[in-house]
Structure 1
Amino acid sequence: MKKIAIATATRAEYGILHPLLVRLMEEKAFDVQLLVTGTHLEEQFGYTVKEIEKDGIPIARKIPILAEDNSPYGISVTMAQAITGFADYFRNGRPDLFLVLGDRTEILGMCAAALNEHIPIAHLHGGELTEGAVDDCIRHAVTKMSYLHFPATEVYRRRIIQMGEAPERVYNVGALGVENILSVPMLSEEEIRKDVEIPAGMPYAVVTFHPVTMQPGEAEQQVRELIAAMREEKQYFYLVTKANADAGGRQVNAWLAEAQRELTNMKLVSSLGMKRYLSAIKYAAFVLGNSSSGIIEAPALGTPTVNIGDRQKGRLMAETVIGCMPEAGAIQAAIRQTEQMPHRPSFLYGDGKTSEKIVKILKEFFHTDYRHWKKTFYDMECK
């Protein structure tokens, strides 16, 4: 039996990983070790480890790593604590593979610890671009530390190969988020409205706004512009999920909490959980903010997205995604554009069979003498 360690540090990450976790745990060939860390273990972010426990997913270890603040220094402390916390696990746990998703700063620390222990790394969602966030650099660094790659589109697959990763280790498997949409039973519109207290009959938007980490000092102004647009477009109810633990995330949440005291058509929540979050998006008039869920999940549900600013700049985007500047007037104009859009699903990020493909690849991987494989830089032919 091969031991696969999988890390989750945020509510969004766990929701995306869920179908893969379930499928891997059904396989007798694998011993899945779920490592829960980051914001999952913090009350101010909703203590979302409770959602994992409620789902009945066994937790191998809880590894606290989050610093007391998310200043640049605090982020560095979190990364350092990720190295030491995960190094302790890897030293004794010795998994045969470490699987991570995405581009968060703490993942770099986790992967550094795995690398030092000569544990192969499998990386989901590599090859993407998010030019407005430091995540871009983290993602590419993790790509170079990883042995197996599971990008979400063919464009991203080619980009990973361009970075020197051999084609036989890079697999276009689509996005797990699309699989969730096609496989998870959704709540009805009446149920989700009642559950999160959205007024009956009032059109609503799901809002998630994260700090743009490559534009330090601009977060407050951008949040103020978003709030100003919400104040003017008062025909909608705004269901707002809190920002993540990126640098500046706590400040963003404080400004949103301040706005909630003023706006009667707004509700701020720490976490909705995957099922409620996807259900809320499904029946929303539009998604608003700068989260990747507006680029991947919302289009697959047919819900238009108003994508604010540069945080997601560089990602492949469906026609239902409307980009705008982080200015109140531009946001309002984009909202009005969504009103003319048909709610038609777009499957730019795969066919919903991602976890099935990954499990098949991992089975083949473990049948090889992988511990003796060495990565060599794959040179593409230059023209």
Structure 2
Amino acid sequence: MRKVAVFTGTRAEYGLLYWLMKEINAHAQLELQVIAAAMHLSPEFGNTWQLIEQDGFNVDAKVEMLLSSDTRVGVAKSMGLGTLGLADALECLAPDVLVILGDRFEALAAAQTALILNVPIMHLHGGEITAGAYDDAIRHAITKMASFHAVAAEPYRQRVIQMGENPLHVVNVGALGLDHLARSPRLSRAELAENLNFSLEHPFFLVTYHPVTLADEQPVTNFKALLAALDEWPEYQVIVTYPNADNGGRAIIQELEAYAAQQPGRVLAISSLGAKRYLSAVAEAAVVIGNSSSGLIEVPSFGIPTINIGQRQSGRLAAASVLHCEATQGAIRAAFRQALSADFREACKNVENPYGQGNAAGQIVELLTSMSLDTIKHFHDLAGSSS
């Protein structure tokens, strides 16, 4: 029986991991261990560790690491706290392998701790590029600490191999979040409205905007430009979710809460929708707006337009249903006009998603049952490279 620890630090990441955790939990040869950290344990972000347990999982370790500060220094100190807590958690759980998804600072703390404790790492969604966030460098750093890689598209597989990883240990399984499309029930529009206690009698926009941590963008200024653009379409309601716990995020929370308070019948601000409500909202939304990776990875499979604002996701593969624009009111306005046009909305219904068809969890479980647990890595030189 292999003990597989799954690390999760944010609501969005857990939503992507849900079906993989279900598959691991049900497998006769695997034992699931859940490590919840950071935003999951914060009342400010909804205490979402409770949602994990409501979904039927046992949280085996809780790692407090999130400071109330969201400055760069605060984030760096949170990583230090995470390393301390994760060292104890991993020593206690003694997993045979640790699964880490993505590119956030919480994930880097988990990866570096596992590296020192000699716990093999299975990394999900490596090889991608998000040039507007320091997450980009974090993702590549985790790749170099991981022994096995389940990537979301073939160009990403080639990039991970280019980084010196053994091609036999790099597998293109598609995007894990797409498993929800075929496997997760969704709420109807009426059920969603009742669940949110928010009347959805008009078409609505779904908004998630995170701080841009690397590129030269001002979080509050850009978010205000987005809000101003939203007000140019007052006939549309707005559901806006909290940003992640990145530096600058709390200032955005203040802005979105004030915006919702000014228009209580039109705007709903919510800390966390959770996977079921989020995907139900995507399916019913007129447009998904912001700079979240879900707008590029999951939303195209619903045939819904995405407006991707600014540089945070710069470099990531995107379907034809994704409109990229600068973080100015004028540019966002122009993107709205195109996204709401009848021709574009019709074209979105038939786009091809470059991230696969939604069968990643089963493939990853096969890898987890068959992979060698040897943590000794060798740099793999490409053909023609000097050794």
Matched, 1:164 2:146: no
Q: Which residue of 1 aligns with 2:137?
A: 137
1:55 is displaced (CA, Å) by: 0.8
Q: Which residue of 2 aligns with 1:91?
A: 91
Q: Secondary structure at the residue paired with 1:171?
A: strand
Q: Which residue of 2 aligns with 1:310?
A: 311
1:138 is displaced (CA, Å) by: 0.4
Q: Which residue of 1 aligns with 2:27?
A: 27
Q: Which residue of 2 aligns with 1:270?
A: 271
Distance in 2 (alpha carbons) for counterparts of 1:261 and 1:57: 35
For 1:111, the aligned partner's letter is A
**Contact 1:231–1:263 at 8 Å: present in 2 too?**
no
Structure 1 ranges of 4+ moved more than 4 A:
none
1:347 is displaced (CA, Å) by: 2.8
Matched, 1:76 2:72: no
The 5 Å alignment of 1:360-379 reads 360-365=366-371, 368=372, 370-371=373-374, 374-379=376-381
* Consecutive unaligned residues in structure 2, runs of 5 or more: none
Q: Which residue of 1 aligns with 2:43?
A: 43
1:352 is displaced (CA, Å) by: 1.2
Give a deviation string over 1:189-232, Cα, whole Å, max 9, x none: 22113322454441101100000001366111101101111122
Q: Which residue of 1 aligns with 2:340?
A: 339
The 5 Å alignment of 1:1-383 reads 1-215=1-215, 218-264=218-264, 265-340=266-341, 341-342=345-346, 343-344=348-349, 346-365=352-371, 368=372, 370-371=373-374, 374-382=376-384
**Contact 2:131–2:215 at 8 Å: present in 1 too?**
no
1:105 is displaced (CA, Å) by: 0.7
**Contact 2:215–2:311 at 8 Å: present in 1 too?**
no
How much is the aligned-residue C-alpha RMSD, in angstroms?
Answer: 1.4
Distance in 2 (alpha carbons) for counterparts of 1:90 and 1:280: 36
**Contact 1:98–1:122 at 8 Å: present in 2 too?**
yes
For 1:334, the aligned partner's letter is A
Q: Secondary structure at the residue paired with 1:61?
A: strand
| TM-score (structure 1 length as normaliser) | 0.96
Give a deviation string over 1:327-368, Cα, whole Å, max 9, x none: 111111111111222241533211211011011111111xx4
Higher alpha-carbon deviation: 196-205 or 153-162: 196-205
1:91 is displaced (CA, Å) by: 2.2
**Contact 1:204–1:285 at 8 Å: present in 2 too?**
yes
**Contact 1:205–1:239 at 8 Å: present in 2 too?**
yes
Give a deviation string over 1:265-295, Cα, whole Å, max 9, x none: 2110001111010000001001010001100
Distance in 2 (alpha carbons) for counterparts of 1:45 and 1:193: 21
Q: Secondary structure at the residue paired with 1:232?
A: coil
Number of residues of Structure 1 aligned to a counterpart in Structure 2: 379
1:60 is displaced (CA, Å) by: 0.7
Q: 1:295 to 1:48 in 2, by over 3 A?
A: same
For 1:141, the aligned partner's letter is A
* Consecutive unaligned residues in structure 1, runs of 5 or more: none
Higher alpha-carbon deviation: 344-353 or 228-237: 344-353
| TM-score (structure 2 length as normaliser) | 0.95
Higher alpha-carbon deviation: 86-95 or 188-197: 188-197
Distance in 2 (alpha carbons) for counterparts of 1:152 and 1:179: 12
Give a deviation string over 1:58-81, Cα, whole Å, max 9, x none: 111111111121111110111001
**Contact 1:111–1:142 at 8 Å: present in 2 too?**
yes
